[in-house]
């Protein structure tokens, strides 16, 4: 009977321990409400290569003490970041809108998962100008997400990298790196034999590592928090879900009109432009969220390879711009 007593004497108080390193860099004013699109997060290895997370990191099978994590570590941390940004001065685009646009614009796989390598390799300016109407793109990487068990000692480790990149000039506006840990076991002082056995196992439970992540994310984003958040940031910016023209081949003549369609947030002000040639033609909302506009060229009008853009503006003056399709428009002049 001396065995349990030996361990109870060895450690008197049950505690958990955390120690980590954090590094932040801010190169813009957090009070400036720039429009931000949060990209799907990725998990990377020690060389920075995107990897598929080990299934054993997602669901534990220790009876009575295990909790189930249905998301990957990257998805879980992305959700934490998006929730925390609601208290910042950034104008964050709705995640569902970002995800939908990416999947329908060639950034998805056949199984409807994200092509993360393609997303991280894409030009932020193209993502913002052509898809999402944003000012900057936020990237996130999970650099560490591990749980180790050594005899009567267990340790959980979380590593995260965040980077906010300007769509205008590619400048890194904000970056944050963190690595933190939480250990359980004899060195942290279980109070008896049963605690000694169960507590390290809890260290392998998802609850420990997810709680650790929940404590890490606010520290990383602390430089972006503002005391007086602008009222208009309490609502999401205008969202353009889809847009199209009736000239699928990108060609028209001055003897026909151009119709432009936009599907987005309802009860706002919509317009479209054709390059620098035609600016902000008003669009009417025919049904909730369905806008239509029409351009009637003059007999003297002609232009070549002009992009078509749609614009959606809310009551606060926030405007979302989206390029219509990949095809530019050419207007050929026909003499009558």
- Same-domain check for residues 264 and 195: no
Query: What is the distance between the alpha carbons of residues 110 and 282, in angstroms, rounded to a whole number?
Result: 38
235 DSSP 8-state letter: S
DSSP per-residue codes, 192-220: SHHHHHHHHHHHTSHHHHHHHHHHHHHHH
Out of 201, 226, 251, pick the residue that ends a domain.
Answer: 226
- Same-domain check for residues 73 and 200: yes
- Same-domain check for residues 135 and 103: yes
Q: How far is CA 330 from CA 35, 220, 301, 303, 308, in A?
A: 31, 48, 11, 6, 10
CATH number at residue 282: 2.60.40.10
- Same-domain check for residues 173 and 74: yes
- Same-domain check for residues 23 and 160: yes
Task: Give residue 288's domain range.
Answer: 240-332
What are the b/e assignments for 18-46, b being 16+ CB within 10 Å? eebeeebeeeeebeebbbbbbbbbbbbee
CB-CB contact of 165 with 172 (8 Å): yes
Out of 226, 250, 270, pick the residue that ends a domain.
Answer: 226
- Same-domain check for residues 212 and 169: yes
Count of helix runs (H) and strand runs (E) in the chain: 7, 18
Mean residue pLDDT across the chain = 82
- Same-domain check for residues 222 and 256: no
Tokens for 267, please give them: 């009860």
Does residue 218 lie in a domain region?
yes
Tokens for 268, please give them: 């706002």
- Same-domain check for residues 266 and 186: no
- Same-domain check for residues 187 and 285: no
- Same-domain check for residues 210 and 260: no
- Same-domain check for residues 245 and 218: no
**Which has the higher per-residue pLDDT, 208 or 163?**
163
- Same-domain check for residues 192 and 248: no
Percentage of the chain beyond pLDDT 70 is: 80
* 0.85 surpassed by pTM: no
| Total number of domains constituting the chain | 2
Does residue 1 lie in a domain region?
no
Does residue 234 lie in a domain region?
no
Residue pointed to by tokens 């769509």: 167
Reported as a single tens digit per residue, the pLDDT across 254-264 is 889 999 999 99
Reported as a single tens digit per residue, the pLDDT across 83-133 is 999 889 898 998 988 998 899 889 999 888 899 999 999 999 989 988 888
Phi-psi domain of 14 (left: phi exceeds 0; alpha: psi -120 through 50; beta: other): beta
């Amino acid at each position: 009977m001396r065995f349990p007593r030996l361990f109870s004497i060895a450690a008197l108080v049950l505690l958990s321990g955390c120690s980590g390193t954090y590094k932040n860099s801010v190169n813009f004013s957090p009070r400036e409400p720039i429009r931000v699109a949060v990209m799907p997060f990725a998990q990377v290895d020690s060389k920075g290569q995107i990897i598929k997370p080990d299934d054993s990191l997602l669901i534990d099978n220790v009876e009575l003490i295990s909790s189930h994590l249905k998301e990957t570590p990257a998805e879980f941390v992305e959700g934490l970041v998006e929730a925390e940004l609601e208290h910042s001065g950034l104008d964050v685009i709705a995640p569902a809108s970002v995800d939908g646009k990416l999947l329908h614009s060639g950034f998805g796989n056949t199984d409807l998962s994200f092509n993360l390598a393609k997303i991280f390799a894409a030009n932020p300016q193209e993502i913002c100008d052509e898809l999402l109407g944003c000012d900057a793109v936020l990237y996130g990487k999970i650099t560490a997400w591990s749980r180790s068990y050594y005899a009567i000692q267990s340790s959980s480790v979380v590593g995260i990298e965040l980077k906010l990149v300007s769509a205008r000039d590619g400048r890194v506006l904000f970056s944050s790196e963190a690595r933190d840990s939480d250990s359980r076991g004899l060195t942290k002082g279980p109070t008896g034999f049963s605690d000694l056995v169960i507590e390290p196992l809890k260290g392998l439970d998802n609850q420990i590592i997810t709680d650790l992540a929940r404590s890490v994310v606010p520290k990383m984003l602390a430089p972006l928090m503002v005391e007086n958040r602008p009222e208009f940031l309490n609502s999401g910016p205008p969202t353009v879900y889809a847009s199209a023209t009736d000239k699928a081949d990108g060609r028209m003549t001055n003897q026909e009109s151009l119709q432009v369609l936009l599907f987005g947030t309802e009860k706002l002000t919509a317009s479209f432009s054709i390059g620098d040639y035609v600016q902000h033609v008003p669009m009417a909302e025919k049904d909730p969220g369905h806008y239509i506009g029409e351009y009637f060229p003059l007999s003297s009008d002609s232009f070549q390879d002009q992009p078509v853009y749609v614009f959606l503006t809310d009551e606060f003056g926030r405007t979302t711009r989206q390029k219509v399709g990949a095809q530019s428009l050419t207007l050929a002049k026909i003499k009558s």
